[in-house]
Chains A and B, each alone.
Chain A
Amino acid sequence: MIDVFLKPSRRQWMMGAAALLTVSIAAPAAQAQTRAETLRYVTGATVNTLDPTMPGSTREAFAVSLSTYDRLVSFGRKQLNGKWVFDLDTVRGELAESFDVSPDGLKITFHLRKDAKFQDGTPVTAEDVKWSLDRAVTANSLAKAQLLTGSLTSTDQFKVIDPYTVEVTLPKPDKLALPNLATVYPVIFNSKVAKAHATAEDPWAQTWLKDNTAGSGAFLIETYKPGEQVILKRNDAWTRSASNGQAAFKRLIVQTVPEAATRANLVERGDADIVIDLQPTDAAALEQKGKLKVISTPQYNAINFISFNNKIPPFDNPNVRKAIAYALPYEDMFKAALFGRGYPLYGATWADGKAPSGGFPIPQPVNTDLAKAKEYLKAAGMPDGFSTTFSFNVGQANVVEPMAALLKESLAKVGIKVDIQKLPDAQMSTLINEKKVPFFTEGIVAWLPSMDYFYRNFYIGNIRWNYSSLDNPQITEIAQAARFEQDKAKYEAMGRELNTLHFEIMPQIPVWQASQDAVMAPSIEGYTYQFHRQVDYRDLSRK
């Protein structure tokens, strides 16, 4: 009986021996040919659905969906400080060959490409477009709330004119209606296939589309393992790239690798082709080594805030908020948290306290000035400071932890005693949603980064994204009016007014826009920073 232990069976020995020997195995070279035609993308996040509108879908899922589905239109690109980024102001046809906007701005007519086919070979028709847009505004999904921001709310607004023409009518000339159709949610489904899988309880085939695709996009799903990897192969019939061609890669691997250091190793050794979620330290080190291409783009549609709940004392007092704004060690935090990889939103000078531009966000005229901070504290009636907590979520710890420590140290100098509170992500979101966190750091992202969109979605109403719980009638009124303002000069003036107000009230402190560090093999070309903050795999090619 002891033999079980001391004399391992033959196979056990073999396993043991193999275990010792196999350390000397390298990757097979035979697949070099297909390897060059394959794009391997590694990420710390996961793909959890093939239907981007599913509540809870991840950003990685969005990127996969935009490769398997087409939209009516998509964004063009522009250069911003020498980096390619998506351009909200140029919208080009994807499934639509062209589109016309009526002079009053109330009608958008889409002329579909006649050669566009779904992946099963059937043509893309106006019926499919109508079904997909109806689904977006009707089904219980993320799409509804998004399209609402572009005045798209009802199925009556989408009309089939002929098999290749669709007309969208708007109740008001909304600048964001067209850009909304270029976002992730209104992708075009093959309605015949989807309907075949719809049931009485599930009229929009949401259950089936979660694990299956019925699109016309550049790539087909080959294997889909939720939480692990997705492997896609090229749809050779697709010719809708920016240059009217096919996708450059024949195969696409989207793989989850949770450990950031491992992702850095993979891309450095050339086993992975591109990664966008490395730690700032690793990205900086790899850039310095110079072997890889590192494209670092400030996420110009995202902002990091040091935020207060303006309803919880003492942060209901603007002087307290300003005191903190002048007591933050901006420069040190920027270096410690991001290694300077981003676009700072502090340290500007505004003549006579008025905002110089109507964009959002713009650098604020704040800097570290402890004397000024003490003055504001005195004005608030708290010359000796107070005690509070500063919260952040665990998921951001590697960036925020050093920042929180510096903040604590600096605020202590003006008498504000800070307890740092690190919360699990779900708990943090719940507390923010319930408006129970007094002082914290969080970020926001806008897919459609226009000034009024920011103010309307992040400063109005009792919603989670209104971090500061601001309820200012003036801001609300101007922001709502700006939405439908067609005159560019007036719109700019409204933006300046809002920015000036924002600085006076100081509901929260914009600190910076962190960079997205896309680290890739030197042979990879075409990377563009996209609104969904993921890689659009169709942009990329190998030299």
Chain B
Amino acid sequence: MSQFASTARRAGRRFVSSLPALLGVLVFTFLLMRVLPGDPAVFFASGPTAGKEEIETIRKQMGLDKPMPEQLARYMLDVAQGNLGNSLTTGQPVSKDLRERLPASLELTFAALLIALLSAVPLGIAAALKPNSLVDHGVRLLCALGVCVPTFVSGLLLIYVFYYLLGYAPDPTGRIDIFTSQPPRMTGFLLIDFLLAGDLSGWWAAASQLVLPAFTMALFVVAPLARITRAAMLSSLGSDFVRTARSIGLPRWRIVVVYALRNAILPVLTITGIVFSTMLGANVLVEKVFSWPGVASYALDALLASDYAPVQGFVLLMAFIFVIVNLVIDVLYGIADPRISIE
């Protein structure tokens, strides 16, 4: 219990200390968007007869007619009240858009991360157990392939084979087949919502839509995870306590899984945290290829249109998630290696 309390205290301290960083991100993104060339008002006043007056109307609507410090002050006040502004690209409040889209990105990322971990950790262990063997080289080749094929290529390839040629996969257009009705929204995670609604055929439809994009994403991150697992396992398999365990004749699986892996898991955890945050924000190509209504493609569209509010909202959300993920990883550290939570 005392361990739990100290972990919680540590987590709380960490969170509070990251608040200034969030504020910094807020101000920085705000300024960055305004420094970028490209006037959103001109872009959106794109009707064939839109003139100066229309541009002014949009500028006023976006609050861009006010001096910059006042804009910033207004924005921070709005954010403090939970209002992230309006998106011109979708015509909706940004907070509503993000709320709608974040679960889509999270569901995809979690699924991809799960697939990646389930394949990368065993692959890494196998490679470490027999370094420089055929297995090791095989894993290395697989990792190299995964990293060097860009996700939009592997995504399109998977679509071509499984949807276009074989017809096994449903059409790659979003989270659910367009003719299937949505479950009542509880968590926003379709797999969970369908289960809660007791609609198994709907669950099946959502899961089958998820498979291809999740695999595409997983392919790309298997490499760092497998490589880091291999490296960490190699060093912990070569350490004294493993030699001791061997010498006293413990079963092989116990040595590998309980002693070696537990000691090798810290770097894997760190990488997992980084990989997760990256996947969530940076896998815009997968979202585009599979028409996945996630936050990353939303932010990219907004960025191309110089639509300030959604980009700012997105960056803030990502910073927030990054903080949370780091916290979770910290807590997991403590669980994996009790020595850490003592300090």
Interface presence of B261 (CB below 8 A)? yes
User: Is the Cβ of A425 less than 8 Å from the Cβ of B43?
Assistant: yes
Closest to A49 in B: B91
Q: Which bracket fits the contact residues of B?
A: 35 or more
CB distance from A273 to the nearest CB of B (A): 12
Interface presence of A27 (CB below 8 A)? yes
Interface bits B90-129 vs A (CB < 8 Å: 1, else 0):
1110000100100000000001001101100100000000
Which residues of chain B are within 8 angstroms of A445 by Cβ–Cβ distance? 48
Interface residue ranges of A411-447 to B (CB < 8 Å): 424-427, 429-431, 433, 444-447
CA A65 – CA B288 in complex, angstroms? 26
Which residues of chain A are within 8 angstroms of B293 by Cβ–Cβ distance? 225, 227-228
User: Is the Cβ of B261 less than 8 Å from the Cβ of A210?
Assistant: no
User: Is the Cβ of B257 less than 8 Å from the Cβ of A465?
Assistant: no
Contact of A26 among B167, B212, B289, B291 (CB under 8 A): B167
CB distance from A459 to the nearest CB of B (A): 14
CB distance from B334 to the nearest CB of A (A): 10
Closest to B167 in A: A26
From known contacts A2-B262, A145-B51, A210-B91, infer whether A26 and B172 are also in contact, taking CB-CB under 8 Å.
Answer: no
CA A66 – CA B36 in complex, angstroms? 36
Which residues of chain B are within 8 angstroms of A381 by Cβ–Cβ distance? none
User: Is the Cβ of B44 less than 8 Å from the Cβ of A22?
Assistant: no
- Residue of A19, A26, A257 with most chain B CB atoms under a 10 A cut-off: A19
From known contacts A18-B207, A19-B210, infer whether A426 and B40 are also in contact, taking CB-CB under 8 Å.
Answer: yes
Contact of A447 among B43, B48, B159 (CB under 8 A): B48
CB distance from A430 to the nearest CB of B (A): 4
Interface presence of B54 (CB below 8 A)? yes
CA A334 – CA B163 in complex, angstroms? 33
Interface bits B22-55 vs A (CB < 8 Å: 1, else 0):
0000000000000011111011111111111111
Which residues of chain B are within 8 angstroms of A262 by Cβ–Cβ distance? 156, 159, 172-173, 289-291
CA A6 – CA B170 in complex, angstroms? 31
Interface bits A1-40 vs B (CB < 8 Å: 1, else 0):
1100110100010011011001111111001001100101
CB distance from A15 to the nearest CB of B (A): 7
A-contacting 9-mer, from B134-142, B174-182, B240-248, B318-326: B174-182
B-contacting 9-mer, from A240-248, A263-271, A367-375: A263-271
CA A248 – CA B47 in complex, angstroms? 30
CA A493 – CA B160 in complex, angstroms? 56
Interface presence of A226 (CB below 8 A)? yes
Closest to A22 in B: B208
- Residue of A26, A28, A258 with most chain B CB atoms under a 10 A cut-off: A258
User: Is the Cβ of A145 less than 8 Å from the Cβ of B39?
Assistant: no
A-contacting 9-mer, from B6-14, B143-151, B297-305: B297-305
Interface residue ranges of A196-215 to B (CB < 8 Å): 210-211
Interface residue ranges of A494-535 to B (CB < 8 Å): none
CB distance from B217 to the nearest CB of A (A): 12
Closest to A532 in B: B48
User: Is the Cβ of B288 less than 8 Å from the Cβ of A12?
Assistant: no
User: Is the Cβ of B211 less than 8 Å from the Cβ of A22?
Assistant: yes
Closest to B121 in A: A5
Interface presence of A48 (CB below 8 A)? yes
Interface presence of B228 (CB below 8 A)? no
Closest to A227 in B: B90
User: Is the Cβ of A446 less than 8 Å from the Cβ of B48?
Assistant: yes
Interface presence of B214 (CB below 8 A)? yes
Interface presence of A463 (CB below 8 A)? yes
User: Is the Cβ of A426 less than 8 Å from the Cβ of B61?
Assistant: no
Interface presence of B164 (CB below 8 A)? yes
Interface presence of B186 (CB below 8 A)? no
Q: How many residues of A contact B (CB 8 A)?
A: 76
Interface presence of A383 (CB below 8 A)? no
User: Is the Cβ of B52 less than 8 Å from the Cβ of A255?
Assistant: no
Contact of A259 among B163, B170, B288 (CB under 8 A): B288
Which residues of chain A are within 8 angstroms of B49 by Cβ–Cβ distance? 142, 145-146, 148-149, 457
User: Is the Cβ of B261 less than 8 Å from the Cβ of A19?
Assistant: no
Closest to B163 in A: A265
CB distance from A501 to the nearest CB of B (A): 23
Interface presence of A405 (CB below 8 A)? no
User: Is the Cβ of A25 less than 8 Å from the Cβ of B159?
Assistant: no
Which residues of chain A are within 8 angstroms of B211 by Cβ–Cβ distance? 19, 22-23
Which residues of chain A are within 8 angstroms of B262 by Cβ–Cβ distance? 1-2
From known contacts A19-B115, A42-B173, A56-B88, infer whether A427 and B306 are also in contact, taking CB-CB under 8 Å.
Answer: yes
Contact of B43 among A146, A268, A430, A446 (CB under 8 A): A430
Contact of A253 among B48, B178, B191, B258 (CB under 8 A): B178
Interface bits B191-221 vs A (CB < 8 Å: 1, else 0):
1000000000100110110111011000000
From known contacts A23-B211, A255-B178, infer whether A146 and B47 are also in contact, taking CB-CB under 8 Å.
Answer: yes
Which residues of chain A are within 8 angstroms of B173 by Cβ–Cβ distance? 42, 255, 257, 262, 266
Interface presence of A347 (CB below 8 A)? no
CB distance from B57 to the nearest CB of A (A): 5
User: Is the Cβ of B57 less than 8 Å from the Cβ of A140?
Assistant: yes
User: Is the Cβ of B298 less than 8 Å from the Cβ of A227?
Assistant: yes
CA A8 – CA B301 in complex, angstroms? 37
User: Is the Cβ of B304 less than 8 Å from the Cβ of A55?
Assistant: no
User: Is the Cβ of B304 less than 8 Å from the Cβ of A425?
Assistant: yes
Interface presence of A159 (CB below 8 A)? no
User: Is the Cβ of A2 less than 8 Å from the Cβ of B265?
Assistant: yes
CB distance from B81 to the nearest CB of A (A): 19
Closest to B122 in A: A6
CA A229 – CA B262 in complex, angstroms? 47
Closest to A27 in B: B170
User: Is the Cβ of A426 less than 8 Å from the Cβ of B291?
Assistant: no
Interface presence of B58 (CB below 8 A)? yes
CA A186 – CA B9 in complex, angstroms? 62
Interface presence of B168 (CB below 8 A)? yes
User: Is the Cβ of B265 less than 8 Å from the Cβ of A5?
Assistant: yes
CA A16 – CA B113 in complex, angstroms? 11
From known contacts A55-B44, A430-B43, infer whether A1 and B335 are also in contact, taking CB-CB under 8 Å.
Answer: yes
Interface presence of B79 (CB below 8 A)? no
Other A-B contacts than A19-B210, A19-B215, A40-B178, 12 sampled, CB-CB below 8 A, are A27-B179, A140-B57, A142-B50, A229-B178, A258-B288, A259-B289, A394-B304, A427-B306, A430-B39, A444-B48, A446-B48, A464-B42
**What are 8 A-B contacts with C-beta separation under 8 Å?**
A12-B114, A16-B114, A19-B215, A22-B204, A34-B179, A145-B54, A253-B178, A464-B42
* In the complex, the 6 A-B pairs of residues with the closest C-beta atoms, listed nearest first: A426-B38, A56-B44, A426-B306, A427-B38, A22-B208, A226-B90
Question: Chain A: residues with CB nearer than 8 A to chain B?
Answer: 1-2, 5-6, 8, 12, 15-16, 18-19, 22-28, 31, 34-35, 38, 40, 42, 46, 48-49, 54-57, 140, 142, 144-146, 148-149, 210-211, 225-229, 253, 255-259, 261-262, 265-266, 268-269, 271-272, 394-395, 424-427, 429-431, 433, 444-447, 457, 463-465
